[in-house]
Amino acid sequence: KVYESVADLPKSLTYDFVIVGGGTAGNVVANRLTENPDFSVLVLEAGVSNEGVLDSIVPFSTFLVGLLEPNIFDWNYTTVPQTGLNGRVLPYARAHMLGGCSSHNAMFYTRGTADDFDRYARLTGDAGWSWDNNEKFSPPADHHDTKGQFDPTVHSTRGITSVSLSGFQWPIFSHHVIQTTRELPDVFPFNLDMNSGKPLGLGWLQSTIGGGMRSSSATSYLADEFVRRENLHVLLHAQVLDLVNLSNTKGEASFGGVRFLQDSRQFTAKARKEIILSAGAVGTPNILMHSGIGDRNVLGPLGIRTVLHLPSVGQNITDQPLFSVSWSVNFNQTLDSVNQNETLFNEAFAQWNRSHTGPFVIESATHVAWLRLDSHSSIFENHTDPSAGPHTPHIELGLAPGGGGPVPGGGSAGVPGHVGAGLSVVTPLSRGSITINSSNPLDPPVIDIGLLENDFDIFAMREALKRAQQFFGAPVWRDAIIGPTQDLENITTDALDEIIRNATIPSLHLVGSAAMSARDATHGVVNPDLLVKGIRGLRVIDASVLPLIPSAHTQAATYVVAERGADLIKQRWM
């Protein structure tokens, strides 16, 4: 059951497992552990309920933008000035609601490549880090014939989170996109299913949407049938401050509980078996450091006693840069037509309310191209290829029948008659850090994502732009395209770089802040079993543990981490 107040919890605050964060990963773990009726589980979520939050239910991007403005649904973080982005300070969205970022993300469901996961297995020395098919592949909202748009053999229909193809079509756009794969097959080969492990090429986007509504870890893994389990308690408005009840057995430290705040009152929840940190790639390292696990050179000056000197906490974090471009077109069958016309907007909303069909059942993008840089690119003279293997893309073009493309945290340009591409470098080499500058756990952490600091990333972004220009320059677009909304062709490379640095935003795909590494590695935060190195009974299960960013959006990989993490816990205790 989901509780709003500690006072309503039926038991004492002692459970077998305490999970910190009811986000994307945390709810998966809560669900899987409570399959065993002998385990009791408490989830502590700082944020609010997802129930009835329309902006989180309706997939359409205009609603999502509402969620990302400063409000109670987000932690409202900002980055430090970003050197690679001309010193700009950016909002850094992290959900503050049940379901975590799966309740307010753009719903792209992209698994990455088999190469990515093989590399995790290699890096950790644990072959178990392969991927899993656990989604519930569902019909699109409009029940159109999906033959030729995906490969059923690489999907599961028995999983928990719904995944579907676009449930609404913008016919001219879709036709032109697919026609481009025929006209320029060498650059944009059609790929039947980008989630097969080999995503290179261009195909139809799959999203975490079912029945025309967002499918998050809160609506799926905490659906009524699961959350009513007597051994599962989820407490909202419970912000964890730090880990407490430190003890030492045979030279190994362990924490017996977590201290949390609700309505300005402090409580301690105790774990008989394990504490699981699922507070996300910002929240998890923050809690670790406030609990004395981190670099002693950071903790000492702040007056935090170092329990374990683990300098990798919060280091080497990675996000993917996102730069949006758009072209004016002479047809008005685009998302912009709905956004710019109140009558059409209200009609679309009425249709969604009536039947969960129509333009509001998709976020914005309908197709994605995953591309590699030319192997002879000059950039490889100074950089080794950062991709995990030959089937791994370096860049992504998220193609949308509307201005500006998918813009997490931004919103679309919103001018009628536009098509857009969200350009992303999915194997960036820039790295950043999450650290703290105060001993008060209620103070926000210091977020430096380091976007575009490495020259590989700006090079790859320029290449992504060239591919987008090539794409919309294909013969089929000739009669449709009026021109780019910004002239990015007839300018110098320096001027282009300046524009890119001034307009790039983070994809919000942060990973690596509590990275897993091989057991005997001198770096890293968790072992391949996700237990924190040198601490007993403390696991991290969320996007923080991914040591390198998958060449994809990160929720699918986070679900994989969570499913595997839950399996590992079960193996230990059952």
Ligand X SMILES: Cc1cc2nc3c(=O)[nH]c(=O)nc-3n(C[C@H](O)[C@H](O)[C@H](O)COP(=O)(O)OP(=O)(O)OC[C@H]3O[C@@H](n4cnc5c(N)ncnc54)[C@H](O)[C@@H]3O)c2cc1C
Active site residues: 509, 553
**Composition of the chain by helix, strand, coil, percent to 5:** 30, 25, 50
CB-wise, 184 or 515, nearer to ligand X? 515
Is 93 among the residues that bind ligand X (CB under 6 A)?
yes
Is 405 among the residues that bind ligand X (CB under 6 A)?
no
Binds ligand X by CB under 6 A, chosen from 59, 91, 100, 199: 100
Binds ligand X by CB under 6 A, chosen from 48, 227, 281, 400: 281
**240 labeled part of a ligand binding site:** yes
Is 68 among the residues that bind ligand X (CB under 6 A)?
yes
Give which of 489, 488, 491, 429 is closest to 458, Cα–Cα.
429
Count interface residues toward ligand X (CB under 6 A): 43
Give strand pairing partners of 162: 136
Give the footprint of ligand X on residues 409-428 (CB under 6 A).
Answer: 409
Task: Let me know: does 71 contact 103? Beta carbons within 8 Å.
Answer: no
Would you tell me how many other CB atoms lie within 10 Å of the CB of residue 301?
10
Binds ligand X by CB under 6 A, chosen from 15, 16, 19, 24: 24
Among 93-101, 156-164, 344-352, 460-468, the segment contacting ligand X (CB under 6 A): 93-101
CB of 554 to ligand X, least distance (A): 3
Is 447 among the residues that bind ligand X (CB under 6 A)?
no
Binds ligand X by CB under 6 A, chosen from 2, 13, 29, 101: 101
Instruction: Give the integer Cα–Cα distance in Å for 565 and 563.
Output: 5
CB of 432 to ligand X, least distance (A): 15
Question: In whole angstroms, how far apart are CA 293 and each of 18, 220, 489?
Answer: 18, 33, 49
Locate tokens 């923080």: which residue?
Answer: 544
Would you tell me how many other CB atoms lie within 10 Å of the CB of residue 264?
5
Residues 6+ apart with CB under 8 A from 445: 77, 282, 285, 286, 289, 314, 434, 435, 436
Give which of 508, 341, 498 is closest to 416, Cα–Cα.
341
Is 316 among the residues that bind ligand X (CB under 6 A)?
no
Give the footprint of ligand X on residues 175-234 (CB under 6 A).
Answer: none
Is 60 among the residues that bind ligand X (CB under 6 A)?
no
Binds ligand X by CB under 6 A, chosen from 29, 30, 46, 222: 46
Task: Let me know: does 461 contact 323? Beta carbons within 8 Å.
Answer: yes
Binds ligand X by CB under 6 A, chosen from 22, 292, 402, 445: 22
Phi, psi (deg, nearest 5) at residue 233: -120, 130
Residue in the shown chain whose Cβ atom is closest to ligand X: 23
Residues 6+ apart with CB under 8 A from 478: none
Is 23 among the residues that bind ligand X (CB under 6 A)?
yes
Is 279 among the residues that bind ligand X (CB under 6 A)?
yes
Task: Let me know: does 132 contact 432? Beta carbons within 8 Å.
Answer: no
Is 236 among the residues that bind ligand X (CB under 6 A)?
no
Binds ligand X by CB under 6 A, chosen from 49, 215, 318, 558: 558
Q: Max CA-CA distance within the chain?
A: 74
Binds ligand X by CB under 6 A, chosen from 257, 280, 422, 550: 280
Locate tokens 């944020």: which residue?
Answer: 47
CB-wise, 313 or 379, nearer to ligand X? 313
Instruction: Give the integer Cα–Cα distance in Å for 105 and 94.
Output: 9
Give the footprint of ligand X on residues 498-557 (CB under 6 A).
Answer: 508-509, 542-543, 553-556
Return residues touching ligand X (CB under 6 A).
20-26, 44-47, 68, 93-96, 100-102, 104-108, 239-240, 278-281, 283, 287, 408-409, 508-509, 542-543, 553-556, 558
Q: Which segments are annotated as binding site for FAD?
A: 240
Q: Which segments are annotated as binding site?
A: 240
